[in-house]
């Protein structure tokens, strides 16, 4: 790519606002993804596997927003016709040569009359479905010792971190975290330490010392889903499945 194309690709990618996209319904999101796809495909940032990479990129982008984008719902012919239509349409707008413009318009017309043609936006919309929030959201909850607050209160205190950000701050960006922490507060060990959902959401906790502890111990870090249930590492899940298979 030349420097101009690199700049166009960077501008297109930097303009993607995940939080804004999360406010879109399915059809609005499909339109936005189609626009991103055609801009990047026209720039053609990769010499090989460009379309395949763009499909994977838009699939991951969709998951970040809360949708599942299943490109396999469309045929290869439908995808390539839609792609060629969009790229040729962008080329037509940017090309001033009369002969090339006629050739591009002929290609566009031929695609429009093809029996398998569907617009890129239509293909994406038909391939989108909402993700199950409980399956798509994963939060890593950890606790970091706060020496200054502990000294001030005369009691061991810990900052509550969700995906590396203090809970009271990240909740402003993702309201689902509030529900996740409600569920997290129901974990037996968290209840035993007297940690409430309100304390977790405030971003700071003062856990109790349990009878079997020589000192106040920091709660165990863990990954939870959107309703606060603990998520086991895949290796543990696989081992559990194997154990079930051998149980009598």
Q: What is the pLDDT of residues 151-175, one digit of tens each?
A: 999 999 999 999 999 999 999 988 8
CA 81: distance to chain centroid? Answer: 28
Distance CA 181, CA 170 (A): 12
pLDDT for the residue 150 = 94
Mean pLDDT of 197-226: 93
Mean of all residue pLDDT scores within the chain: 87
Cβ-contact 26, 121 below 8 angstroms: no
Mean pLDDT of 208-224: 92
Mean pLDDT of 173-178: 87
- Give SS3 for 48: coil
Is pLDDT at 246 greater than 90 in this prediction? no
pLDDT for the residue 23 = 85
Of the pLDDT bands very low, low, confident and very high (cuts 50, 70, 90), residue 45 is low
State the SS3 of 189-229. HHHHCCCCHHHHHHCEECCCCCCCCCCCCCCCCEEECCCCC
Contacts of 29 (CB under 8 A, 6+ apart): 21, 62, 65, 67, 128
Helix 50-65 crosses helix 76-94 at what angle (to 10 degrees)? 100
Is pLDDT at 50 greater than 90 in this prediction? no
Which region among 15-29, 62-76, 129-143 has the lowest average model confidence (pLDDT)?
129-143
Distance CA 178, CA 232 (A): 21
117: enclosing H helix or E strand: none
Is pLDDT at 247 greater than 50 in this prediction? no
pTM of the model: 0.54
Is pLDDT at 238 greater than 70 in this prediction? no
Mean pLDDT of 196-214: 94
* pLDDT above 70: percentage of residues in the chain: 89
In the numeric block, which tokens belong to residue 162? 């969700």
Q: Which domains, and CATH codes, for the chain?
A: 3-130 (1.10.3290.10), 134-231 (no CATH)
- Give SS3 for 66: coil
| Range picked from 42-56, 208-222, 229-243 for highest mean pLDDT | 208-222
Reference 87, options 32, 12, 37, 27; nearest CA is: 37
Is pLDDT at 239 greater than 80 in this prediction? no
Residues present in the chain in total: 248
Of the pLDDT bands very low, low, confident and very high (cuts 50, 70, 90), residue 242 is very low
pLDDT for the residue 221 = 95
Is pLDDT at 135 greater than 60 in this prediction? no
Look at the block and give the residue holding tokens 């617009």.
Answer: 119
Of the pLDDT bands very low, low, confident and very high (cuts 50, 70, 90), residue 235 is very low
Contacts of 155 (CB under 8 A, 6+ apart): 206, 216
Mean pLDDT of 97-124: 95
Is pLDDT at 237 greater than 60 in this prediction? no
Mean pLDDT of 89-95: 91
CA 117: distance to chain centroid? Answer: 30
Distance CA 104, CA 173 (A): 45
């Amino acid at each position: 790519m030349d420097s101009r194309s690199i700049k166009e690709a960077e501008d297109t990618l930097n303009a993607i606002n995940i939080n804004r996209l999360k406010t879109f319904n399915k059809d609005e999101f499909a339109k936005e993804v189609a626009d991103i796809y055609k801009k990047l495909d026209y720039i053609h940032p990769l010499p090989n596997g460009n379309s395949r990479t763009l499909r994977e990129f838009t699939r991951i982008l969709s998951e970040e927003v809360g949708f599942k984008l299943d490109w396999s719902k469309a045929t290869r012919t439908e995808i390539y016709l839609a792609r060629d239509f969009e790229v040729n349409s962008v080329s037509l707008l940017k090309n001033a040569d009369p002969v090339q413009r006629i050739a591009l318009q002929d290609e566009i017309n031929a695609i429009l009359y093809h029996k398998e043609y569907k617009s890129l936006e239509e293909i994406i919309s038909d391939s989108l479905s909402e993700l199950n929030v409980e399956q798509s959201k994963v939060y890593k909850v950890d606790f970091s010792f706060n020496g200054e607050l502990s000294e001030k209160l005369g009691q061991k205190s810990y900052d509550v971190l969700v995906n590396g950000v203090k809970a009271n701050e990240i909740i402003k960006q993702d309201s689902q975290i509030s529900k996740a922490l409600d569920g997290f507060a129901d974990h037996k060990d968290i209840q035993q330490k007297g940690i409430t959902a309100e304390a977790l959401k405030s971003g700071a906790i003062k856990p109790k010392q349990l009878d079997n502890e020589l000192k106040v111990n920091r709660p165990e870090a863990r990954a939870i889903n959107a309703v606060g249930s603990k998520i086991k590492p895949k290796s543990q899940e696989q081992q559990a499945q194997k154990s079930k298979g051998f149980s009598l």
